[in-house]
Amino acid sequence: MKLDLEQLKQRFRDIKLIVSDIDGTLLDNNGEIGSVTQQMINTLTGRGIKFSFATQRVLPSIVPFAKKLNITTPLVCMNGALVSDADGNTIYKAPINPSKVRLAVELANKYYIRIALCRINEIVYTDENSVIRDFLARRGANYQLVKSYEDYYDDVLEIIVSGDNKNLVKKIQGKLNFPLKLHVNAKYYRSRSQMHVAHLEVTRSHVNKKHGLKILADHLGVKKNEVMVMGDWYNDRKLFDFGGINIALQNAVPELKHKANYITSLSNNEDGVGEFLRLVYPDAA
C-alpha cells in the first residue's frame, strides 16, 4: 500500500528500528555516506531510534560504516546468514553443511566457473579464482588467498559462484537446488556493476534478509510495525516482505518500487536516505 508523506509521518511515530541496505542505498556510487544521512542517523539514534544494516557484504567491510555512524545495534550481513554487532559479538549465524560446500566447489571446477567461500571475517579464494575479486568488488571484503579450498569447508556462511556463461552458472544452480534443494538455497542474479556476469549466492535454505531482520527484531524486542526498511536492489525483496514500512530509493529496480510503501524523490547519489529521513523527521533536521 502506497503512503503519502503525511501518512508516513504518522506511522513513523511508532518506528523504533530503521534498517538500510548499504550498496546503492546508504552509499553513493563512490562508496560514500552523504552528510545529511550522517547527520540524521546520528540525531535519530541519539533519540533512541535504533539503526542497522541489511547487506550482502561480509562483516569486516561494513564495520567502518557502523563506526562512522556510531551504530551499536547488531548488523544483518551476507543477506541474513550472519547477525553480529560491529565488535564481532555474534547473535546468529547459519553455516552451510561442509558436504554441500564441497559439492559446490566440485561443480564449479567441473564447469570451469569461478567460486569463492564467504566466512565471518573474510572471503576465501584460490589463485585460479582470483578474478572473482573483481566480480565481488562491491562487497568491499577482506580476501584471503589460499592454496586449496580443502581446509576451508567448515564455517562457510555463503558461497559465491560467478561467471560470464549464464547457462553454466544456471546449470550449477539446478544441481545445487535438486533434489530437495540439498538444504541450501542457490539464488541466481545478474551483477549490478558488470551486467555480463552471472552470479549464484548459495546459503542455507532458510537464509535471506527477511529472516535476518526477524532475528534482529526479536533480539531487540521490536515489533513489525515498529520497523522501517530501505533498499534498492533485487536482494532487498525479502527485506520488504518483513511487514514493516518499506522505502525504495529513487534508483531502485522497478520490482522493489512496486513493493514499496513510499519511493524517495532522490537517489543514493543525491543523499536520498538522509533527505528522506529529514522529510519524515523534520524536527530532527
Whether residues 70 and 119 fall in one domain: no
At residue 285 the predicted structure's pLDDT band, cuts being 50, 70 and 90, is low
- The confidence band for 166, taking pLDDT boundaries of 50, 70 and 90, is confident
Kindly report the CA angle at 232 between 229 and 237, in degrees rounded to 5? 65
Residues 79 and 14 in one domain: yes
Please check the confidence at residue 59 and state whether its pLDDT lies above 60.
yes
Per-residue pLDDT band for 183 (boundaries 50, 70, 90) equals low
Does one domain contain both 26 and 109?
Answer: no
**Range in 99-108, 119-128, 192-201, 257-266 the model is least confident about:** 192-201
Task: Give the torsion sign (CA, 143, 93, 257, 170).
Answer: positive
Give the model confidence (pLDDT) of 190-202 as tens digits. 555 555 677 888 9
pTM score, two decimals? 0.91
Instruction: Please indicate, yes or no, whether residues 242 and 222 belong to a single structural domain of this protein.
Output: yes
- Are the CB atoms for 250 and 272 separated by under 8 Å? yes
What pLDDT, on the 0 to 100 scale, is given for residue 196?
Answer: 66
Average pLDDT over residues 224-252: 96
Upper half-sphere CA count for residue 100 (Cβ side, 13 Å)? 25
User: Would you tell me how many other CB atoms lie within 10 Å of the CB of residue 184?
Assistant: 19
Q: Is the domain of 33 the same as that of 167? A: no
Whether 119 has a pLDDT exceeding 90, the answer reads: yes
Last residue of a domain, one of 168, 188, 204: 204
Tell whether 102 and 188 lie within a shared domain: yes
Residue 38 shares a structural domain with residue 80: yes
Distance CA 110, CA 207 (A): 27
CA distance 77 to 252: 20
What confidence tens digit (pLDDT) does each residue in 80-118 have? 999 999 999 999 999 999 999 999 999 999 998 899 999
Q: How many domains does the chain have?
A: 2
- Taking residues 192-221, report their average pLDDT: 87
Q: Do residues 85 and 226 both lie within one domain?
A: yes
Whether residue 20 contacts residue 47, with contact meaning beta carbons closer than 8 Å, is answered with no
Asked whether residue 180 carries a pLDDT value surpassing 60, the answer given is no
Distance CA 108, CA 117 (A): 12
Same domain, 110 and 86: no
Note down the domain range covering 183. Answer: 98-204
CATH number of the domain within which 143 lies? 3.30.1240.10
Domain end call among 182, 204, 226: 204
- Where does a domain end: 204, 225, 253? 204
Is there a single domain that holds both residue 153 and residue 88? no
Q: How much is the pLDDT for 189?
A: 58
Q: What is the CATH number of the domain that holds 49?
A: 3.40.50.1000
What are the tens digits of pLDDT across the range 33-50? 999 999 999 999 999 999
Is there a single domain that holds both residue 25 and residue 155? Answer: no
Please tell me whether residues 244 and 266 are part of one structural domain.
Answer: yes
Q: What is the pLDDT of residue 135?
A: 59
